[in-house]
Homo-oligomer: A and B are copies of this chain.
Amino acid sequence: MTNFTSIHDTDNPQALVQQVLELKQNSSPSTLGMGKTLGLIFFNPSLRTRLSTQKAATNLGMNVIVMNINGDAWNIEFEDGTVMNGSTQEHIKDAVQVISGYCDVMGVRTFAKLEDPQEDYQEKVLNNFIKHSSVPLVSLESATLHPLQSLTDLATITETGNSTPKVVLSWAPHPKKLPQAVANSFLQWITATDAQTTVVHPKGYELSDEFTDGVEVSHDQETALKDADFVYTKNWCSYAQYGQTPPVEKDWTINQQKMKLTNNGKFMHCLPIRRNVVATDEVIDNSLVYEQAKNREYAAQAVLQNILEEL
């Protein structure tokens, strides 16, 4: 494995999932990463990603350097050819070439601006990192995908032993407009399995065709939830009316009553979660969310291990 920015960076997603679960079973310390440095670059806040990736790296014996761009460092310019006499202080191409010179592997968390779909869906920031980095790059979430989360989610589902589950990806309410990254990425990974997947969301919240091709799409939450084994919930804003949040009439919060429609289904969410908005306390308190969070560590460790082995 060289980079890890989407499912396309592994030729065997199921084998990678198995590797994650084996690392969880057998967490004996490794010296594979001794003397190697992982540089983690954050453009926005992070808790699980920050901590789980650091933990994974130290499990492998790596040193970790964390950098908060726009906090610890300089304002970054992303446009090529700009006359930089404004507020940006360093060009992305210079920052990435310099940072990667001090690291053996780099992780970067970028964000969707939710202004221009072209800019986000072309993964401008992530691709700048890939282009200018002299070392392998791990996406810690990008504008449109969150592969470490999705790998984690698959491992969490696989861990339950159900290999042909009915999985529902349900939109949920949220006070802020959020990117489509987690939903896109979940679909990219779950459709590579034998799961039977349905996406359910209010009209106007269709995801990009690229991710829903071949997936059943519904606008009726209660019908969709019927007999579900896993209910993966997430808010996202509109793709068609990019970055907008068209009005939603019904109540899309997941509650106990809705969960009773499922096949004793398990609730999943990537966290952080707005309690009693996305789902009720009762639902969250009887869910897989902490298992998911814990599995982030082993997902990151599997990816870093594969990258280190090919350095």
Task: Enumerate chain A interface residues (CB-CB to B < 8 A).
Answer: 29, 35, 37, 39, 42, 45-48, 50-52, 54-55, 58, 63, 65, 67-68, 71-74, 77, 80-86, 89-91, 94-95, 97-99, 101-103, 175, 271-277, 281, 284, 289-290, 293-294, 297
Q: How far does the alpha carbon of A28 sit from the alpha carbon of B251 in the complex, in Å?
A: 61
Query: Per DSSP, are chain A's interface residues mostly helix, strand or loop, or mixed?
Result: mixed
Q: In the complex, are the beta carbons of B97 and A290 less than 8 A apart?
A: yes
Q: In the complex, are the beta carbons of B29 and A47 less than 8 A apart?
A: no
Contacts of A71 in B (CB 8 A): 71
Q: In the complex, are the beta carbons of B90 and A51 less than 8 A apart?
A: no
Contacts of A73 in B (CB 8 A): 45-47, 50
Contacts of A97 in B (CB 8 A): 290, 293
Q: How far does the alpha carbon of A90 sit from the alpha carbon of B83 in the complex, in Å?
A: 40
Contacts of A284 in B (CB 8 A): 94
Chain B residue at smallest Cβ distance from A253 = B83
What's the number of copies of this chain in the assembled complex? 3
Q: In the complex, are the beta carbons of A290 and B101 less than 8 A apart?
A: yes
Contacts of A89 in B (CB 8 A): 272, 274
Contacts of A54 in B (CB 8 A): 65, 102
Q: How far does the alpha carbon of A85 sit from the alpha carbon of B174 in the complex, in Å?
A: 7
Q: How far does the alpha carbon of A51 sit from the alpha carbon of B41 in the complex, in Å?
A: 11
Given A289-B94, A290-B101, is A84 in contact with B274 using a C-beta cutoff of 8 Å? yes
Contacts of A91 in B (CB 8 A): 272-273, 275
